[in-house]
């Protein structure tokens, strides 16, 4: 009994230390973004002037708009392609389906620097101008596997009898897809979309290789500022990026909670009938 209690205590301490390792630096970054001193060593007082300075920077707003545009477009394309790919894999009976689905995982296992150089060489050799559209293609390539995996896992857990019942009742395959299959896997689609948005939002390596001289994203801006040393402006900027990501996660959690509640109510109604 004592041995089990000791193991539980060690496990709790390990979890706490793990959380501190991951989140303590983020907490320090957020706190020092409100520091009056430009030094990140000593706390001298509370201020919001660094945020005011960033908000008044027209160039930064342009960079922020570019970053959000790239993230949104990447999310749309990665979600559409990843969802269609996962559904196609489930429906396909081809012996090459397994080979094709394994190739989707390549962007996850291949180092990003390798992907970035390869894509740069392809577009450069083809004479295609770099910029936002090419960055979206590159980011979509990276984010696609994550959408595919989340949607595919949702499809695997889906009861096939639901689709069969729809077809038996006279619905065609298109109607069944949009009114039965997609609503069932929507939580997986939303999860993949938020993951794609988050990954695209902080993508640096591929974006740096595929950006032209007039295109800058927030991660690229932070990296260029870091070369001059860590400052409260950097802390404030990264805190804003962090806040955007947190808002995205919060939106998903709210959506998931509402969806779960609606599904539970629907099941209760069916039971009552």
- What is the share, in percent, of the chain residues with pLDDT greater than 70? 92
Q: Best-predicted range by mean pLDDT among 60-64, 170-174, 225-229?
A: 60-64
Residue 131, phi-psi category: left (phi > 0), alpha (psi -120 to 50), beta (remainder): left
- For 237-255, b where at least 16 C-beta lie within 10 A, e where not — what string? bbbbbeebeeebeeebeee
Is pLDDT above 70 for 1?
no
% pLDDT > 90, the chain: 23
Buried b (16+ CB within 10 A) or exposed e, 184-205: bbbbbbbbbbbbbbbbbbbbeb
The model carries a pTM of 0.81
Residue ranges of domains in the chain: 57-272
Question: pLDDT tens across 88-103, in order?
Answer: 887 777 777 777 777 8
Per-residue tokens: 233: 């402006």
Helix (H) or strand (E) holding 92, with range, is none
Give the number of other Cβ atoms within 10 Å of residue 121's Cβ: 11
Q: Assign 269 a pLDDT band (cuts: 50, 70, 90).
A: low
Nearest to 239 by CA among 30, 32, 52, 23: 30
pLDDT at 207 over 80: yes
Does residue 107 register a pLDDT over 60?
yes
pLDDT given at position 195: 87
Provide the phi-psi class of 42: left if phi over 0, else alpha when psi is between -120 and 50, else beta: beta
Q: Shortest CA distance to 59 belongs to which of 205, 220, 208?
A: 220
Instruction: Indicate the burial class of 69 (C-beta count within 10 angstroms; 0-12, 13-18, 19 or more).
Output: middle
For the record, the structure tokens of 39 come out as 């030094």
Residues 186-201: tens digit of each pLDDT = 888 988 898 899 889 8
Q: Where are the alpha helices (DSSP H) in the chain?
A: 2-32, 49-55, 58-91, 97-104, 106-109, 112-125, 132-156, 160-168, 173-176, 182-201, 205-210, 218-226, 232-272
Query: CATH for 57-272, among 2.130.10.10, 2.60.40.10, 1.10.150.110, 1.10.3720.10?
Result: 1.10.3720.10
Model confidence band, residue 208 (pLDDT cutoffs 50, 70, 90): very high
DSSP state of 130: P
Measured in whole angstroms, the distance separating CA 154 from the mean position of its chain's CA atoms is 17
């Amino acid at each position: 009994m004592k041995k089990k209690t000791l193991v539980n205590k060690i496990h709790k301490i390990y979890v706490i230390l793990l959380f501190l390792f991951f989140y303590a630096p983020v907490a320090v970054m957020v706190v020092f973004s409100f520091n009056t001193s430009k030094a990140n060593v000593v706390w001298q007082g509370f201020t919001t002037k660094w945020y005011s300075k960033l908000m008044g920077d027209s160039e930064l707003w342009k960079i922020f708009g570019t970053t959000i545009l790239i993230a949104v477009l990447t999310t749309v394309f990665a979600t559409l392609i990843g969802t269609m790919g996962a559904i196609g894999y489930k429906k396909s009976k081809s012996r090459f389906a397994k080979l094709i689905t394994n190739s989707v995982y390549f962007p996850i296992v291949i180092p990003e620097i390798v992907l970035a150089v390869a894509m740069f060489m392809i577009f450069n050799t083809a004479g295609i101008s770099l910029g936002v559209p090419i960055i979206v293609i590159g980011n979509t390539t990276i984010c696609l596997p994550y959408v595919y995996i989340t949607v595919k896992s949702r499809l695997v857990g889906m009861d096939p009898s639901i689709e069969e019942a729809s077809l038996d009742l006279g619905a065609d395959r298109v109607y069944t897809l949009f009114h039965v299959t997609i609503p069932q896997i929507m939580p997986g689609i939303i999860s993949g979309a938020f993951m794609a948005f988050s990954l695209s939002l902080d993508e640096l390596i591929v974006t740096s290789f595929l950006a032209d001289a007039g295109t800058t994203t927030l991660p690229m801006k932070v990296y260029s500022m870091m070369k001059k040393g860590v400052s409260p402006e950097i802390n404030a900027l990264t805190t804003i990026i962090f806040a955007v990501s947190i808002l995205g996660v919060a939106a998903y959690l709210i959506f998931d909670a509402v969806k779960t509640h609606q599904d539970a109510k629907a099941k209760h109604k069916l039971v009552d009938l």
